[in-house]
């Protein structure tokens, strides 16, 4: 039985809304049945019409959606709400949805502030709902393989972690044109206190902690605004200290002209290291101290159950961003369906980002910006 899905945000012209809908549709586990696609009721209605939804299930606001859906019979109402609004509009609809018992899939970063994130954590704990945060890159099969390899101890104790996310699309003052994506991402009233560090730095931070299995405990940040007139950071580098005593480096920039979206992570232990990058997402390099480098590939029989679970095609067929995104939706659906059937979800299905990752992501934003403004070399990572 398909899960009934509703969407808040993601109407006409919204890039990420279409990505979420593709991800939800890929495995046939969800059916989009309702939505409040814009704060403009007319735009919402037009978006719903384009998506083929019944007019009486397209709403003018998220409040109307939640109130009206709650009044429907249990076997008709929305079960899962996908919230794909700009950052400043994450908290209120998510809070209301959770309080009314709807499961939530939320785009990252989780909220506008750490205080809001902690409040959502408390609301979720008091509800019977489930929550998924779409840190896409954790959905790649070979990222999961990397995490399992580190967790197995094969590399020995982790000593050094590098993660970088270079983009070039904000190398000029794009927000001065009619670029909708640049406009809200560089606006403190809609994006929050961080630009690049909130938009892509949180992805890099999440990937580092996910693959290494370690938590950042201290940081030292250099945060820059390179393009004249820009209100938020568009470039930064961070030195990190991790929970095991290992150290790390995180780089996130949106002014690396010519770069696209090649997020990359490297982890080095006592016995060897590994490297994964999105430009060659089907490959994981494993580098040994005393033997030749291994090239592990998606779709092969020798990878972990977590990598196999999240692989869709035979080896040699590229899988990318949309499939990784869809893996989060799929795992979330499999978890909900198992629980609805009174069963315990398999560990592979439970492997999706949740509220804890969201809180730590918001803590990263606030700590990294504070460190960038401080003259102190090392600052504590405070959650």
**Euclidean distance between CA atoms 91 and 375, whole angstroms:** 32
pLDDT score at 183: 93
Given a cut of 90, whether residue 155 has pLDDT beyond it is yes
Contacts of 31 (CB under 8 A, 6+ apart): 2, 3, 4, 5
Summarised one tens digit per residue, pLDDT across range 83-93 is 999 999 999 99
For residue 40, the model assigns a pLDDT of: 93
* pLDDT tens digits along 21-40: 999 999 999 999 999 999 99
Q: Which band of pLDDT confidence, cut at 50, 70 and 90, is reported for residue 222?
A: very high
**Residues 10-25: pLDDT tens digits?**
998 888 999 999 999 9
Q: Is residue 345 predicted with pLDDT exceeding 90?
A: yes
Q: Report which DSSP code applies to 2.
A: P
Angle among Cα 67, 70, 73 to the nearest 5 degrees reads: 145
Percent with pLDDT over 90 in the chain: 98
The pLDDT of residue 366 is 98
The four Cα atoms 49, 50, 51, 57 give a dihedral, to 10 degrees, of -10
d(CA 284, CA 141): 10
195-212 pLDDT per residue, tens: 999 999 999 999 999 999
What pLDDT score was predicted for residue 237? 98
Distance CA 82, CA 64 (A): 15
| 369-381 per-position pLDDT tens digit | 999 999 999 999 9
Instruction: Give the pLDDT score at 13.
Output: 80
Specify the 3-state DSSP secondary structure of 269.
Answer: strand
Structure tokens at 85: 């609004």
Per residue in 228-286, pLDDT (tens digit) is 999 999 999 999 999 999 999 999 999 999 999 999 999 999 999 999 999 999 999 99
Q: In whole numbers, what is the pLDDT of the chain averaged over residues?
A: 97
The closest alpha carbon to 373, from 223, 198, 234, belongs to 223
> What pLDDT does 15 receive?
87
* pLDDT above 90: residue 169: yes
Please give the domain boundaries of the chain with CATH numbers for all domains. 3-129 (3.40.50.720), 141-314+360-373 (3.30.360.10)
151-179 average pLDDT score: 97
80-83 and 103-106 as β-strands: parallel, antiparallel, unpaired?
parallel
pLDDT of residue 14: 84
For the cut 90, the answer to whether the pLDDT of residue 77 exceeds it is yes
Beta-carbon count within 10 A of 285 CB = 17
Question: Tens digits of per-residue pLDDT, 112-146?
Answer: 999 999 999 999 999 999 999 999 999 999 999 99
Mean pLDDT confidence for 204-221: 98
pLDDT of residue 12: 86
């Amino acid at each position: 039985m398909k899960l009934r899905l509703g969407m808040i945000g993601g109407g006409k012209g919204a890039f990420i809304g279409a990505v979420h809908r593709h991800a939800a549709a890929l495995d046939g586990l969800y059916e989009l049945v309702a939505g409040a696609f814009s704060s403009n009721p007319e735009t919402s209605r037009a978006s719903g019409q384009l998506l083929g939804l019944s007019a009486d299930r397209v709403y003018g606001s998220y409040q109307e959606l939640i109130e009206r859906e709650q009044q429907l019979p249990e076997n008709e109402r929305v079960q899962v709400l996908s919230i794909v609004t700009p950052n400043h509009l994450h908290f209120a609809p998510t809070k209301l949805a959770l309080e009314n018992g709807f499961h939530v899939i939320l785009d990252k970063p989780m909220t506008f502030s750490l205080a809001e994130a902690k409040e959502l954590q408390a609301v979720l704990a008091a509800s019977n709902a489930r929550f998924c945060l779409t840190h896409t890159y954790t959905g790649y099969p070979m990222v999961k393989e990397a995490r399992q390899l580190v967790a197995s101890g094969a590399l020995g104790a982790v000593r050094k972690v590098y993660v970088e996310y270079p983009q070039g699309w904000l190398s000029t003052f794009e927000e001065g044109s009619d670029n909708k994506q640049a406009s809200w991402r560089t606006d403190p009233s809609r994006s929050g206190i961080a630009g690049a560090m909130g938009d892509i730095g949180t992805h890099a931070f999440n990937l580092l902690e996910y693959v290494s299995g370690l938590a950042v405990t201290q940081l030292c940040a250099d945060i820059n605004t390179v393009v004249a007139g820009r209100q938020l950071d568009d470039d930064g580098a961070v030195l990190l200290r991790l929970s095991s005593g290992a150290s790390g480096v995180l780089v996130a920039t949106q002014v690396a002209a010519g770069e696209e979206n090649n997020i990359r992570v490297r982890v080095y232990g006592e016995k060897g290291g590994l490297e994964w990058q999105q430009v060659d997402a089907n490959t994981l390099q494993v580098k040994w101290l005393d033997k030749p480098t291994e090239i592990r590939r998606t779709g092969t029989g020798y990878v972990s159950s977590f990598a196999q679970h999240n692989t869709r095609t035979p080896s040699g067929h590229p899988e990318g961003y949309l499939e990784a995104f869809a893996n989060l939706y799929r795992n979330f659906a499999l978890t909900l369906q198992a629980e609805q059937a009174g069963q315990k979800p398999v560990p592979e299905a439970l492997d999706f980002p949740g509220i804890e990752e969201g809180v730590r992501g918001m803590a990263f934003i606030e700590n990294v910006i504070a460190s960038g403004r401080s003259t102190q070399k090392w600052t504590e990572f405070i959650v």
